[in-house]
Chains A and B, each alone.
Chain A
């Protein structure tokens, strides 16, 4: 079965650079979520989109922005990167009208040097 696809899987950037992460949800899933997981920490909700509109916002820094496109894929743009942004970034998708079950991608590991 198709799963949530994230790219790139690994990314290394310097401080103050910009990074873009991509997420392709499971077909027919209309909602996408972004989570950030620091080393040894639980996933923290960043932002979500439903039908291409932002549906909820969590602890996403102002330096970050995201959007969902017409094909339902989503991109997380991170600017002015800081060392503390080094983390595993997960995308998840869910079914329309579902009971909250999230299907996670394998994550994109961002390392900021």
Chain B
């Protein structure tokens, strides 16, 4: 079955530390991959996406993610965390080039930043 899994519902890092949010998917067909960020009481904002081409994708706010087909992963990283990065992060996947109606969200990871 096709699915997307985010490891860790809550991640806490110190300001200036590396941020690593994990996302794995299960699929027999190439996926489109997305990371969205949600600040409190706001909608989801696209951070970055992978469709085809370069597997290392750079997004907004200094975030990047690498599509690793062999590991079926699309982990989100940022070299140095900032207090403003505190939010909920959702990995999302569209399987098999189907319509965006089939986008599946992970369960989300809440990122907290310690001063």
Smallest CB gap from B50: residue in A:
A99
Number of interface residues of A (CB under 8 A): 25
From A42, A48, A90, A107, contact of B108 by CB (8 A): A42
Q: Do A102 and B107 have beta carbons less than 8 Å apart?
A: no
Q: Do B43 and A31 have beta carbons less than 8 Å apart?
A: no
Among B13-21, B68-76, B98-106, the stretch in contact with A: B98-106
CB distance from A112 to the nearest CB of B (A): 18
CB distance from B103 to the nearest CB of A (A): 6
Residues of A within 8 A of B99 (CB): 48, 55-56, 100
CB distance from B29 to the nearest CB of A (A): 14
CB distance from A48 to the nearest CB of B (A): 4
Q: Do A48 and B101 have beta carbons less than 8 Å apart?
A: yes
CA distance A38 to B31 in the complex (A): 26
Q: Do A100 and B108 have beta carbons less than 8 Å apart?
A: no
CB distance from A4 to the nearest CB of B (A): 7
Complex A-B, nearest 8 residue pairs according to Cβ-Cβ distance, in ascending order: A56-B101, A104-B43, A100-B100, A42-B105, A104-B44, A48-B101, A106-B43, A100-B94
Which B residues fall within an 8 A CB radius of A?
32, 34, 36, 41-46, 49, 51, 90, 94, 99-103, 105-108
